[in-house]
Amino acid sequence: MTENGTYVYYPGCSLQSTGRAYDTSTKRVAQHLNLTLNEIEDWNCCGATEYFSVNALPAYSLVARNLALAAETGGAPEVVAPCSACYLNLRKTNDYMHKFKKLGAQVNQALAAGGLHYEGGSLRVRHLLDIIVQDVGYDAIGAQVTRPLQGLRVAPYYGCLIVRPDTGYNTEYPTHLDALMTTLGATVVDFPMKTHCCGGHMTQISEEVAYELIRRILKNAADYGADAIVTLCPMCQLNLDAYQGQVNRTFNTDFNIPVMFFTQLMGLAFGLSTDELGFGSEMVPAMPALSRIGRELPEERERPKRRDKQALPMPTPRGSGRSES
């Protein structure tokens, strides 16, 4: 945790439009947890993936302007981004400027044309979820829960960029969002597709490709009995939510799974109202799923507590071998 829980906040373009509910709920939850988010003055777009496709140096420079402004924002040397794509671009630019000296020098040459300078690596770029689970911590969050999300079965969806290429979390099967949801009282379903791609910008390029990627994720969430998918990226939320209807039409399916931001669910568990948390703007209505909260879950499907006599032990890390008497 930074000193007195202050961070530099980079909302990014999506949080101003398609992901507005994420911005609203983030600010509300931060306030509830006494976190101060100082928004970067006059920040610009992070370039998404598009800018990097066309011309790398201007793309790095575009991002670096935000970092330079962030360094001037004062307070803690930690920038928090709720959008996974923004997070990746900020972090990558920050790292590369530090690691690849020539690139860093060139970017600074460009920044100088605007009267700015940024020392690569001098800030730490973090994703909002990382701050919530690492800095605030499960215990402190658990202590705030007044209305546990009991009865809600969620599929925790991480997407790509919060775990890849290298953020220190398991790159294929992270569990920190799972743990956060459990802390809030929700039931977490196993979700093998949790870090697969939501299609990103493919929705704009090739619908066939994008819808198939979205379908795989929705199908997996449905197969594992999720009431809702919880996300941490506005792009993922948009693709899984706004295109669900199109996916149903294309593949003749009937998915009806609301897609929420983890901050919205945190807020709910903290006893905040749905209005304060930006609910209502989702295309697949969240209300039917939310109305399950508080209800008893039907008995878990028969899962024999004691293994069958013949069954072979599941792999357990050596040393944690439980005795079976």
Site for other proteins in 224-283 (CB under 8 A): 242-243, 245-246, 280-283
CB of 77 to other proteins, least distance (A): 22
> In angstroms, what CA-CA distances link 34 with 59, 70, 141, 264, 275?
34, 21, 12, 17, 20
Nearer to other proteins, 2 or 237 (CB): 237
Residue with tokens 């003749």: 252
CB of 143 to other proteins, least distance (A): 31
Q: What is the rounded CA–CA span in Å between residue 268 and residue 106?
A: 46
DSSP 6: E
Site residues (CB under 8 A) for other proteins, limited to 194-213? 196-197, 199-202, 204-209, 213
Nearer to other proteins, 119 or 207 (CB): 207
Asked if 121 touches other proteins (CB under 8 A), the answer is no
Residue 237, SS3 per DSSP: helix
Q: Do 79 and 70 contact (CB within 8 A), yes or no?
A: yes
Max Cα separation, the chain?
A: 73
Q: What is the rounded CA–CA span in Å between residue 54 and residue 52?
A: 6
Residue 9, SS3 per DSSP: strand
Site residues (CB under 8 A) for other proteins, limited to 56-115? 56-58, 60-62, 65, 96, 99-103, 106-107, 109-115
Burial zone of 295 (CB within 10 Å; 0-12 exposed, 13-18 middle, 19+ buried):
exposed
Nearer to other proteins, 18 or 150 (CB): 18
Nearer to other proteins, 100 or 150 (CB): 100
Selected binder of other proteins within 32, 124, 147, 164 (CB under 8 A): 164
Number of residues that bind other proteins (CB under 8 A): 96
Question: Which x/- pattern over 293-312 shows residues binding other proteins (rule: CB under 8 A)?
Answer: ---------------xxxxx
Selected binder of other proteins within 34, 173, 271, 287 (CB under 8 A): 173
Nearer to other proteins, 58 or 77 (CB): 58
Contacts of 143 (CB under 8 A, 6+ apart): none
Q: Which amino acid, 280?
A: G
Q: Do 158 and 170 contact (CB within 8 A), yes or no?
A: no
What is the β-pairing status of strands 259-261 and 228-231?
parallel
In angstroms, the first-to-last Cα distance of the chain is 44
Q: Do 181 and 224 contact (CB within 8 A), yes or no?
A: no
Nearer to other proteins, 144 or 250 (CB): 250
Nearer to other proteins, 32 or 201 (CB): 201
CB of 318 to other proteins, least distance (A): 4
Asked if 4 touches other proteins (CB under 8 A), the answer is no
Region of 27-35, 75-83, 147-155, 162-170 interacting with other proteins (CB under 8 A): 162-170
CB of 42 to other proteins, least distance (A): 5
Q: Which amino acid, 232?
A: L
